[in-house]
Structure formats: C-alpha cells, structure tokens
Structure 1
Amino acid sequence: MPIGLCNAPGTFQRCMMVILHDMIEKTMEVFMDDFLVFRDSFSSCLSHLDTMLQRCEDTNLILNEEKCHFMVKEGIFLGHKISKNGLEVDRAKVDVIAKLPHPNTVKGVRSFLGHAGFYRQFTQDFSKIARPMTHLLGKETPFVFSKDCIDAFETLKKKLTEAPILVVSD
C-alpha cells in the first residue's frame, strides 16, 4: 500500500500485528515500524530476537540496519526511555519543554499542552494543574495569560524535569 493514503498507517500496523501476532506483548512490542524485543535474560532475549528476525525474513520484511539497535540495556522507544528500572521521560524532549517561554497565543498554549501532555502519566494531577491554560482554549474565551496560567505553566515544566520512573508491575 502506498504511503500517503489515508488508511495506509492503519493497514500497515494491522499487517505488522498479523505477522508478529504470537510474539506481541509476550516477547516484543510493535508500533508501526518500531519493534522492541525484550526478555529477562540475555540468552532468552537473543532467542526471541532470532525468532523475530526469522519471521521478518520469512515475510520479506526488510530492516534498516542503520536504525537497528541490538542488545541494549536502555533505549528510546516511542518517545520514552526504557531501561531495567522502568519507563522514564526522554530527557532531550523534556529539556526542550523546560526551556520554552510561556505561550503568547492560543496556538502556543495548545502546542505546549500537547507536548507536555505526552508525558502526563508522569505528572500527578496533570489536568488539575493545566486547568487555567485549558480554559484559554475555549471558543469565546479572551486570551489573557494570567498569573494562574504562568504558575500552571511553570509547575508543569518543573514536574516534567523531576518526573519519576514508572516501574513495570509484576
């Protein structure tokens, strides 16, 4: 299916899930063309990696060698840092957010809330903190970035830079 068609991403994701269905959530995660193979031990991981690579070969999937990272202890997957400790925010993305000046327009507020909202699972009471800014997104609301908005903006930036590690449950 050609890239650019409205159903191409969904069709591609479904294709990946059909090809790798028996491994998803047991030994690997798949999102579009991002694969993450995981296990508790090196030998087990190697075995499951071999199975996944064989499946790719059998179904004529071609991997871009330059984009592949094998047998790493931590890495970035779908915007999150994953390690033996658990799930963390990607420092590079958070550093960009932390340096932002407060927004001057509704579009700027929407953009900030979108970026910060990507990591909302790391921020307790995210929606309560962001409420003064979300009120600015209403249709007939005049844009006044008040002290409450500035406080909310700074609090969210601070909480993102101090975000905890989310530990995977047993």
Structure 2
Amino acid sequence: MKDQEKTTFTYPYEMFAYRCMPFGLCNAPATFQRCMMAIFHDMIEKTMEVFMDDFSIFRNSFQSCPSYLERMLKRCEDTNLFLKWEKSHFMVKKAIVLGHKISKEVIEVDKAKVDVITKLPHLTTVKGIRSFLSHAGFYQRFIKYFSKIAKPMTRLLEKDTPFIFSKECVEAFQTLKKKLTEAPILIAPDWDMPFELIKTMTKAESNYTTTKKEMLAVVYAFEIFRSYLIMNRSIVYTDHFALKYLFAKKDSKARLLHWVLLLQEFTFKVIDTNGVENLAADHLS
C-alpha cells in the first residue's frame, strides 16, 4: 500500500487513488507474479504451477489430487485470494492452459485461439503483420520451418523497407494459417532421434563473418536446450576449424568474448569434423 499514492488521478474538484492494483501499470505483471510465487513458494513445481492468475494443480494419481487441491484452496483463503467459480475446473484429464490444450500424453493448440487467427483478412499494414506474426508465433513450435515460411513477411518489418505485400507474402500468410489449422499434436521427445533447430537471422546477423555465424549457431543451440545441457557434458561437432580455438581465446572481439562468457556455464568440448562427415549440418546449409 506504500505506493498507493502513485496511482492518484484527478477529477474536477477531487482526487482519487486506487485501492487495488489497476491494469496498465508497467510493473504490475511482475509485481503480481512475485506475490503469487511468495504465497505458493513451497508448492510451485512440486504440486502446482502459477502464471499470474492461472493456477494448475497436478499429481500422478487421482487419489493424491484432492489433498493438494485442498491445501491450495486453504492457502488462498488464508491470504484473502478470491477465485472465480465459473473459471475453475476440477478433476479434469484435459484442460486449456495458457492457450494450449494439455493432457497427460500430449499438447495441442487451442482451437478457439487458432480460429481467430485463420479468419484474418489479408494484411495491409506493418502493424498488422507484426500482430499476426506475434499471434501465430505463439504456436510456432507446432509448425515446422515456421521462421523460413514467415521470412517474406518478416522482411517487411525491417526499417526503411517499402510495404509491398507481394505474392510471396500472400503465400506465406496463407500457408501459416493452413498449418495452424493442421497443427500436429506434440508429445514427449524421443531422445534417440536427432533434433533440428532453425533460426531466422536479423539483417545484422546476416552480415556476420562465417566464424561469427558458426559461433551464433552454437550459442543459439545452447540457449534453446539450456535446461537439458546445463548439468551435463556435451560435444559440439563442427567443420569450422577456427571455432575449436575460439573458445579458449582470451582476446576475442567484444561480441565473440560475450558469447564465450555465456557458454562458460556449460561443460562441453569442440570436435572438428570434415564437411563430408558432417552430413546433417551440410544438408541443412
């Protein structure tokens, strides 16, 4: 309540201040999330997950669920949190969580969200393209080669680029809408199969030297798979000979040195291979 006066606004002859946190404050989401995590700190990741005002209680069996649900509700009661009954779902095997349909076995897109996207007319402004790519990008992990398909449209977001919604853009727009309606179901990964990463480079990244591009690929891969690699030993196979010695170099340029420092939290070694032996990467390039 110490910051309540900061929400004060004036009205003819009077001044008013909010008694609760209003919409629109730049730090409101982070403050609210910290509050939720403080309240449920001993339950998060063990029996429940919290994102803003979305609570999910989970267990491996039906028998153990009621006791943890009761514990969560008691905590809400003790801290004066009010839950809307009409937005609550109890003892379900499937549920819509943060725009995804979640079950024990699979993750699917929320059809209601997708229907809104697929009914959009042709885009006529940069703002419209940015909005569409933002919404469609929320489900990009369901669409293989999303960044490659969207590339004609992302070019229009570059500074000083004339807005011409070309035939390529129309095809990309329609393809993304179609793939959203046909989005596959996601299941737990098969660790015996190879993983494929695709990244759209910015205009500046496209102008990088070959060494920088190779380094960027390594950094990006470690960032994406961080949770799997952080406590394990890894091997980086590359046909770019200079990369092997770059990680040990202490006088690199600022950008490369920054990347080297980022990778120091991982345990890995670099093995250089001939291009003809590096078939997967050679095919992708």
Aligned residues: 170
Report whether the alignment pairs 1:78 with 2:98.
yes
CA distance in 1, matches of 2:83, 2:118: 35
TM-score normalised by length of structure 2:
0.56
TM-score normalised by length of structure 1:
0.91
- Structure 2: runs of 5+ lacking an equivalent: 1-19, 191-285
- Structure 1: runs of 5+ lacking an equivalent: none
RMSD (Å), alpha carbons:
1.7
Report whether the alignment pairs 1:67 with 2:87.
yes
Q: How far apart are 1:13 and its partner, in Å?
A: 0.6
Match of 1:88 among 92, 102, 108: 108
Which amino acid letter does the alignment assign opposite residue 119 of structure 1? Answer: Y
Which amino acid letter does the alignment assign opposite residue 17 of structure 1? Answer: M
Render the CA deviation track for 1:30-58: whole Å, top value 9, x for unaligned.
Answer: 01111011112111222211121122122
Which amino acid letter does the alignment assign opposite residue 19 of structure 1? Answer: I
Partner of 1:163: 183
Match of 1:3 among 18, 22, 31: 22
Partner of 2:168: 148
Which amino acid letter does the alignment assign opposite residue 120 of structure 1? Answer: Q
Structure 1 residues 119 and 24: CA distance shift in structure 2, 3 A: same
Structure 1 residues 168 and 56: CA distance shift in structure 2, 3 A: farther
Match of 1:112 among 132, 135, 145: 132
Partner of 2:40: 20
Structure 1 residues 130 and 71: CA distance shift in structure 2, 3 A: same
Partner of 2:51: 31
Q: Which runs of 4+ in 1 moved over 3 A?
A: none
CA distance in 1, matches of 2:175, 2:45: 35
CA distance in 2, matches of 1:62, 1:96: 30
CA distance in 2, matches of 1:25, 1:168: 18
Q: How far apart are 1:16 and its partner, in Å?
A: 0.5
Report whether the alignment pairs 1:128 with 2:137.
no
Give SS of 1:43's match.
Answer: coil
CA distance in 2, matches of 1:42, 1:9: 33
CA distance in 2, matches of 1:56, 1:154: 46
Report whether the alignment pairs 1:44 with 2:64.
yes
CA distance in 1, matches of 2:183, 2:72: 33
Higher Cα Rg, which structure: 2
Instruction: State the structure with bigger RCO (CA 8 A, min sep 6), 1 or 2.
Output: 1
